[in-house]
Structure 1
Amino acid sequence: MKTSCNKCQSSDAVEVYEDHEYCFSCNTYNPNKGKVVSLDELRTDRNPTTYSAISSYRSYPIASRGISQQIVDYFNVKMSVDQNGKPESHYYPYTRNGEVVAYKERKLPKEFRVHGDFKNTELFGQAQCAGNRTLVITEGELDALSVAEAWQQTKGRIFPVVSLPSASATSHALAQRDWLNSFDSVILMLDNDEAGQKATNYLGKMLKPGKVRIAKLKHKDPNEVLMKEGAKAILQAVYDAAPWSPSGIVVGEEIWNQFIARQNVESVPYPDCLSGLNDKIKGIRQGEISLFTSGTGSGKSTVIKEIILSLLDTTDDKVGLISLEESVGDTAEKFISMQLKRPVNDPPPLSQEEIRAGYDQVFGDERLVLLDHQGSVGDDSLIDKIEYMALLGCKYLVLDHITIAVSEGSEGLSGNEAVDKVMSDLLKVVKRHNVWLGLISHLRKASPQGKSFEEGKLASIDDIKGSGSIKQISFDIIAFARNLVAENETERNTIQFRVLKSRFTGLTGNAGSSVYDPSTARLKASGSFSIEAVDLR
């Protein structure tokens, strides 16, 4: 029997047995439906000889499913028999770095359990794969054997095929995303049921665009095709596989449903220190891009971190931060200082225990995910890393900043073409995974005749650096500024906000101000708005 998992919230990944439950999505074991423990905690003490004994078991053809001895041996599948010599269990090996570290047991006809260390294992059959042209993915080990059997019968050789542990265990595929993307083409041959369709959509979004093809089956799964139509029918499904694309054409009642969904979209408020933004744009919404722009040293990093801390405090979701000008250590220091409401390096010194307490409050539950760019963002991988964060479950993402992203991800393009390409890719990620993206952009150099942005001038839309796509694709545009050279300290630490665009409300204009308190490293709302500070000369 299958049920939902209380730990990872998967709706159907848990197999229930007489003495335990096991989730094939998050790899947790629940003895007697009691406390959920990880496999690492469990396997050290539970049946320590079972795993090593399995590797010495014999193998037999699975005649009832049309699988030959050659295929069974090729994938190192093991068998056990009962006292009467009848097949009792199949044991499917799972590897890590090519070495078998666990077996998934299928106790006939269809009960499952795991032996060994199943955490962070590769896909079933991955160790046998060679080449990088075409790969088939199934959602069951027996289905992978069926595809291999079809190839062996018709072609005399076995082409790459792997299996997920189950339709719900897509986290295994996510961990192998780079390896999967190394193939020119990935064909999904998953079960013809709701769980299989859900996994197909997840994998289609997870892998690079244009790489995924869908094999349509006339029966429930590849093994049923093999048994009812033969090996050639499986090969024909591979040859006829059509490119995957998310559904996009809607008519009739679906338009109404999407209208209702839009009316009910959740807006997460900005923090109290940015309350003026809530008056204008009503908060943050998934599926949108919000652009933040200001002059150098105007407080972009602090504003963004206030937003992130608020999201962690008011939602249960993960947040991803891609800060291309700041090391992970610097980012952690600033978050800890803000959480403790005092800079950690200011006297008197804080104890290690106090600093650790602040760290645990921000990072302890692992909901804040950072990109460690190590001083360089590499070749064309930044968009891929952003999408990976979305696949990890980050519903809110921040990219600081678009200028570096353009230089990294433009694929040899330059100027406006490069900006257009990156903005288009970012929008696809946002829509594909329904996440919010906060994007920081720099400004053009101000005219030497007027006030500079660093003197408190607030930007207009035309001041935003880069192509028009930045302004067109963004749903909200928020400009802010402070006078870095003001004689008065309060004025120097006051940030003025102005909404330049809001697709959701249509409201624009001045949006209050916040004051930075150096003693707490935090912002607080001031409510006032200085017309002089935002003179647009």
Structure 2
Amino acid sequence: MRTIIGDSTCPKCRNNGRDKSGNHLILFSDGSKYCNRCHYSEGKKENMVTSCEVQKEYGFITDIKEVNELPSGIMEDRKIRAEIVEKFNVKLEYDPTNGSVVKHYYPITKNGVTTAYKVRELPKTFASIGDAKGKTDLFGQSVTPKGGKKLLIVGGELDCLAAYQMLITKYPNFPPSVVSLPKGENITAVKDNIDFVNSFQEVLIYTDMDTVGRTTADSIAKLIGVKAKVVSTSEKDASDMLVAGKSAEFINAFFNAEGRKPEGIVAGKDISIERLKKATQHGFKTQYTALNNMIGGLRKGELTTLTAGSGIGKSTLSREIGYYLRAVHGLTIGHIALEEKIEKTINGYIAIDNNIPLNKLMEYPTLLNDLQWENSYNKLIATGWNGFDHFGSMPVEDMMDKMRYLAYGEGCDFIILDHLSLVFSGQDSDNERKMIDLAMTQLAAFAVESGVGLLVVVHLSRKPGKTSFNEGGQISLTDLRGSAALEQLSFNV
């Protein structure tokens, strides 16, 4: 095994004005010599020392001062010219046996001062030398003047070099402003240097074209706002575009970058007249002519609120409507009745089908013979009807879980919730208004999302000095108990 026996002046470093201390050239016991700064070497080929061997076996290049003395040069495999590498102060380490690049050293700067290097051992092993902790500049920020028309933010250091080269080659008199994220596709450095980023009129974002990269681009665009635009290309990134010889496509994509449009925002021109002329879904008529005339029937995808004074018959009305939708229209119904047993709810449908008062049927089941029971049960309940065997309150998230199952699991066309206030009764909260706000927001969104029609029973507030609703008091929307969301989010009341 060879050993180090001393050091001497490196002729190559000395010719380039370095190695003033005269100790860059490492002398080995087998007669070989090697400079870990410029990679000059002497000796027989079989005894040549590689930079990787020196660093591994002898621990050289352990601080940024040594990295600073490494040369820049061409990155032949990525088609990046030497002057581009040098502009961004990127250092290269070579294998002296064949002259190939084995490592890249990308400067990490803080307020323009190099405090560390990100080390890339080819093909793709990363490490760092120096102080890379805490807030750092964007890669390339230290050589990019603040302010200007366009700033291009790319995903990595090689992409930064490649993008700069493609732009400066096309427009040699207009040096572009290009930086990259220094710690992978993480937007922290953008946040830390937001003043620098916002000093430009436009900010173009060109992170990788995969899912992670596009998500990062969207996050940066959200942070920057309306001046942000997103660049898209056929290859994964700028480096691949350069290698593939697609500089012209990249330049075109650069100047035709699209402004970020938040999900759901639609330009008027994108809505066709044919779409506007599409007829509104018809409403399903109820057995109540006056109600049909007022609201045009009950529509799927809408939330309808049923309300009245206590004991007036809200639950009875909800069962009557549920029965009609099931029996006449043949729709699939979900019925969540929280203040009665499921047997009563089902008996209510069967009683209506046979025109018998519910309380009479429950007291005297023999009012119907076995065939009548069987016919009504098979017609209304055996298929196309789903209930909830539960009494009392439950968390909103549990309620929504039941709703989603009824919609997507059982294919319900309409779901009846009787009643909303009971969902929260018994829960550890003194803010019923806030809880109803939350529930109504989720219910309204669910109706639109799922296309299911919702019928929600709610109570009225009792106000001192006002005629009781049970005695014919006039009802207004402000009398709905709990929250203004009841009137604001209901399609019909």
TM-score range, shorter chain: 0.3 to 0.5
TM-score normalized with structure 2 length: 0.43
Q: More relative contact order in 1 or in 2 (CA 8 Å, sep 6+)?
A: 1
Larger radius of gyration: 2
TM-score normalized with structure 1 length: 0.40
- Bigger helix share: 2
